[in-house]
């Protein structure tokens, strides 16, 4: 994702999945933490991509903004996403 985000609301974010999944994600990634998660579509796409492709993932932690109103919907949506790792524990805070 771009580091030059103009606001805390995610304006200007852009992300496209790579043409192939990075080998380190397939074989090594065990812990993933997404801090400041707002639940906007492009952030969700990144989180879902990692959940779907990180075969060794043990823990995925999503830290949302305190003022996020739709937290329950966000949690349910990510919890329903398919995961490559059956051992992955999804943590929300």
Distance CA(65)–CA(68), nearest Å, equals 6
Provide block-wise average pLDDT over 10 residues at a time, the chain (93 residues): 44 79 95 90 92 96 72 82 92 84
Contact by Cβ (8 Å): 21, 53: yes
What pLDDT sits at residue 46? 94
* Residue in 89, 31, 90, 39 with CA at minimum distance from that of residue 64: 39
This prediction's pTM:
0.76
Predicted confidence at residue 22, as pLDDT, reads: 94
Tokens 């996403």 correspond to 81
| 8 A C-beta contact, residue 47 and residue 37 | yes
pLDDT of residue 70: 66
């Amino acid at each position: 994702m771009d580091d030059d985000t103009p606001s805390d609301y995610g304006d200007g974010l852009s992300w496209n999945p790579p043409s192939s999944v990075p080998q380190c994600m397939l074989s090594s990634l065990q812990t993933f933490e997404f801090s400041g998660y707002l639940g906007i579509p492009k952030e969700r796409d990144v989180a879902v991509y990692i959940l779907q492709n990180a075969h060794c993932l043990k823990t995925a932690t999503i830290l949302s903004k305190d003022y996020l109103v739709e937290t329950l919907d966000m949690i349910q949506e990510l919890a329903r996403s398919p995961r490559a790792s059956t051992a992955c524990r999804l943590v929300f805070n």
